[in-house]
Structure formats: C-alpha cells, structure tokens
Amino acid sequence: MDHLDTRTLQQLDAAHHLHPFSDNAALAKKGTRILTRGEGCYVWDAEGHKLLDAFAGLWCVNVGYGRKELGEAASKQMTQLAYYNSFFQCTTEPTIQLAAKLAELTPADLNHAFFTNSGSEANDTILRLVRHFWAVQDQPRKNIFIGRHDGYHGTTMAGASLGGMKGMHKQGGLPIPDIHHIDPPFWFADGGDLDPDEYGLVAARRLEAKILELGPERVAAFIGEPIMGAIGVYIPPMTYWPEIERICRKYDVLLVADEVICGFGRTGEWFAADYFGFTPDVMTLAKGITSGYIPLGAAMFNDRVAGVLANQGGELAHGCTYSGHPVCTAVALENIRILQDEKIVETCKADTAPYLAQRWSELGEHRLVGEARIAGMVGALELVPDKNAPGKSGRAFFDDRGKVGQLCRDKALANGLILRATYDAMLLSPPLIISRAQIDELFEKTWKALNETAAELGL
Ligand SMILES: *Cc1c(COP(=O)(O)O)cnc(C)c1O
C-alpha cells in the first residue's frame, strides 16, 4: 500500500466510502479525520495531532493501543492455521479455550458460548436461539422480546429492532414483529420527585406491566444494556436490575444482559451483572472481548438454555463462516490474559475508577453540567442551560438538543481530547489502563472545553 497525502485520502474517502452513523454529505464537505497511530491512551491523526482518547475507540480498546502481544498472537495463529470453521464437527484450539475461559469469567452458570463477528450478530443469535428454546418446549407463542426505548443492541435487523432508537427504526421498516419496548431508566430526566432507589423500582416495574399486558405466555425474554451506552450512559439506580430479575423469574421470562460495552472490566467488575448484583440467563459480548483489536462477538447461554438447545433443539440451523475464527479467539485469549495478569480490572476498581469518579464529580460543578454520572470507567456529563433553576426545571435540556454537545465535542478535540457527544451529554469511556496523571489531563481538557463552550454560548 502506497501512502497518500491527507488531502488525497480525504477526497478518495468522500468519493468512495460511505461512513456508518454519519451525515455523509456533510462529512464529504468537511473531510474526514484520518487516524494513523495509537499508543496506550493516545491516538495520532494524519495531521500529527496527539489526542487523548477518552472514548477508547468506540467503548472497546480496554487494554489501550499498541499492545504488541495482541499482534503477535494474531500473527502466530495466522501462520499456524489462519482459518478453520466450527461447522462439520470440527473446531480449533483457541476457540475451545476461549469458550472455557468465558465460562469461567462470566457469572453463575453462563457456561456456553456461541461465537459471532460482532455484538449485533450475537444479539441476532440470541433472538433466534431463545425463540427456538421456547418453541422446542411446545411454547412457540412465547416469542416476544421486550427491550427499552432508546436502547442500543446493534444494527442488524434484529439488533436494531431489539434496540429502541427511533431514528434507526425509521430506516428499513423496523422493528421486526414481536418486539416491544418499555421506557428506559433515566432518573435525571424522568425521576420526578422520587429518590433514585425508589425510581429504580418504578422504572423496573414497567417491565411487569408490559408482561401482564402482553401475557406472560407470550414473552420469551427481556433484553437490556446494564448501563445504556449509546443513548448517553444512563446508569440505572442500584435497585433497578435486582427488581428486573425478580420480575423475569416470576413470569419465567429469560433475562438477557447485553454486556457489549460493560463486559471485560468497564464498570470495575468483570461484568456489569456483578456490579449491579443480578444473574442473567443469556449475555451478549463483543467490543472489550478483544479490546477492539479484531472483530469478535459471543452469545453466552446458561446451563438451562444451552441444555434445552443441545438436547431438544436438534441441529442448530444457525452460524457464521467465521463463528469461532481462530485468529479472533486467539487474540481474545491474549487480551483476557493481559487483563488478568496485569490486574487491570482490579486496579480500576481499587484505584483509578474512584479517582476518576472524584474528578468527574468536580466537573459536575461546572455551570454547564446538570449531572455528572459515572460507574467505574464509564460516565457522562449532562449539559443543561440552567442547572440552578429550581426543581425539575433545573433538569431541563437545551431547546435544540444536540447542538451544544457537538460544540463541546469540537472544543475538546481542538484541545487534544476525544469525547463523544450524544445529544448534549458528553460520554466518557477511556481505556481501562488510564493513569491518574492522564485522568488529570482528561479533567483539565474537559474543563477547558466546557469553559470554551459556555463562552461561545454566552453563558
Ligand atoms: C456496540 C454495541 C452492540 C453492537 O455491536 P457491534 O459489534 O457494533 O455489532 C450491541 N450492543 C451494545 C450494548 C453495543 O454497545
């Protein structure tokens, strides 16, 4: 590959590359940013700017950039056996070892992995196999999935349908049939006068109302992100998930935790189910499973579900060419080895996450910030026009939602910091290896971006 200058690359990009989740016409005019290198918590763009990546790529680069061991694990596996499938009564060693490792790491009896290339495909897998699970037990009508409005479960037909993003549903005729949604737990906007723990119960009981409305004999599963990432890092009160679990058990509805963002240490625990204290029947994994170094997703099933699928399910009519691709599973194993050997999750929990939480709450004192929420290494700053307005109006959003977030994001970038904005929430999800000194840098740059945003708004 010959290296081209930035301008030429941008022109070729505009002419030939459709970007996901982007206004492609606007982007073509502006010119895309081209990233060229990464090391630890930093990335460099083609213009030579060094950026502190407080978003870990896309919630995924948990061990940080530039880990040679991961490249070496891929190279070694590619040279030895680049590919073999897991159809035809075959498989490969790293794939078996990863399945066993995931069984060991995930909670309770989530002991069975089905591999895919992405989180979206893992959720497609879950939709099909859970419906199959009920069908082979003579309950074919127990096929409804309940998700949340504004939830995110990926972009395939099933993933986008399970999610509750209205803008996504509009494109392509979604949701597909027999998927319903309840309102998400978002205390800041929706909590009214309730304290968070009371509100958590109220929000969870929306599930019970929906199950009773549809009939428990129709509801196959509830799916949720333990912390709702893409919509703006909605962290539910601690009462929410245990109550959701109680309701699922009461009506024999399977509980699916989409841990694509939360898994592999994001909350300071290996999985958010550990953080919130609940036990899912099925779990979606991707992103942090390889720290983003190579694509891989997995659906984890507990003994009950996997047992029925194996013993009553007949031949599973489902799978991808690359289910359990040995290069991807070898990289995932090495990524998990790094997380374990270097005690990265433990260090977050004991040291860096509490420090980040302290500095994040200091950012909450900024006049633009209505709420600074954080759990472990994932958080958000909710930007509001008038945080000191009395009562509920202090939780009001900007009229033209999204503009201020975008402005703040651009100010951060100009100061060498990558934060994501959803509407007017600034989202945080740094590599888990971020140091205290880098957390201080993150604080300084974010504070500066908030000041510059406020100045430009005349606030
Ligand atoms: C990113 C994401 C997905 C989709 O994963 P892809 O690998 O992009 O298909 C699913 N669920 C959640 C919670 C996610 O954040």
Quick: pLDDT tens for 301-324: 999 999 999 999 999 999 999 999
Write out the two tokens for 306. Answer: 């996997």
Write out the two tokens for 403. Answer: 């503009």
Rounded Cα distance between 337 and 9, Å, is 37
Over the stretch 321-339, which tens digit does the pLDDT of each residue have? 999 999 999 999 999 999 9
CA of 115 to the centre of ligand 1 (A): 14
Rounded Cα distance between 11 and 7, Å, is 6
Do 142 and 134 contact (CB within 8 A), yes or no?
yes
**Does the C-beta of 231 come closer than 6 Å to ligand 1?**
no
Rounded Cα distance between 206 and 314, Å, is 36
Residue partners of 343: CB distance under 8 A and separation at least 6:
none
- To the nearest whole percent, how much of the chain has pLDDT over 70? 100
Write out the two tokens for 260. Answer: 């694509």
Mean pLDDT of the chain: 97
pLDDT category of residue 287 using cuts at 50, 70 and 90: very high
CA of 211 to the centre of ligand 1 (A): 26
CB atoms within 10 A of CB 173: 9
Do 281 and 254 contact (CB within 8 A), yes or no?
yes
Strand pairing report for 50-53 and 42-45: antiparallel
pLDDT category of residue 1 using cuts at 50, 70 and 90: confident
pLDDT category of residue 391 using cuts at 50, 70 and 90: confident
Burial 411-444 (b: 16+ CB within 10 A, else e): bbbebebbbbbbbbbbbbbbbbbbeeebbebbbe
**Does the C-beta of 150 come closer than 6 Å to ligand 1?**
no
Whether 33-66+343-457 and 69-341 share one fold: the answer is: no
HSE of 179, CA atoms in CB hemisphere, 13 A: 24
Do 178 and 131 contact (CB within 8 A), yes or no?
no
Query: Residue 336's pLDDT is what?
Result: 99
How far CA 105 is from CA of 243, 401, 449, in Å, comes to 24, 40, 39
The torsion defined by the Cα of 305, 307, 312 and 313, in degrees rounded to 10, comes to: 60
In ligand 1, which atom is closest to the CA atom of 59? 15
Query: For 52-83, what is the HEC assignment?
Result: EECCHHHHCCCCCECCHHHHHHHHHHHHHHCC
Ligand 1 probe mutation, 55, 153, 285, most atoms within 8 A of CB: 153
pLDDT category of residue 389 using cuts at 50, 70 and 90: confident
Ligand 1 probe mutation, 62, 124, 287, 422, most atoms within 8 A of CB: 287
Which of helix, strand or coil describes residue 340?
helix
pLDDT category of residue 393 using cuts at 50, 70 and 90: confident
Mean pLDDT of 126-155: 98
Query: Residue 15's pLDDT is what?
Result: 97
Query: Residue 383's pLDDT is what?
Result: 98
**Does the C-beta of 119 come closer than 6 Å to ligand 1?**
yes
Please report the sign of the dihedral spanned by the C-alpha atoms of residue 218, residue 246, residue 147, residue 104: negative
The domain 33-66+343-457 having CATH identifier 3.90.1150.10: the answer here is: yes
Phi-psi region of 42 (alpha: psi -120 to 50; beta: other; left: phi over 0): beta
Domain residue limits, the chain: 33-66+343-457, 69-341
CATH classification code of 69-341: 3.40.640.10
Q: How many residues does the chain have?
A: 459
HSE of 22, CA atoms in CB hemisphere, 13 A: 15
**Does the C-beta of 124 come closer than 6 Å to ligand 1?**
no
**Does the C-beta of 60 come closer than 6 Å to ligand 1?**
no
What residue spans of 257-402 are helical by DSSP H?
272-276, 303-312, 326-341, 344-347, 353-363
CA of 411 to the centre of ligand 1 (A): 27
Query: Residue 390's pLDDT is what?
Result: 82
pTM: 0.98
Query: Residue 428's pLDDT is what?
Result: 98
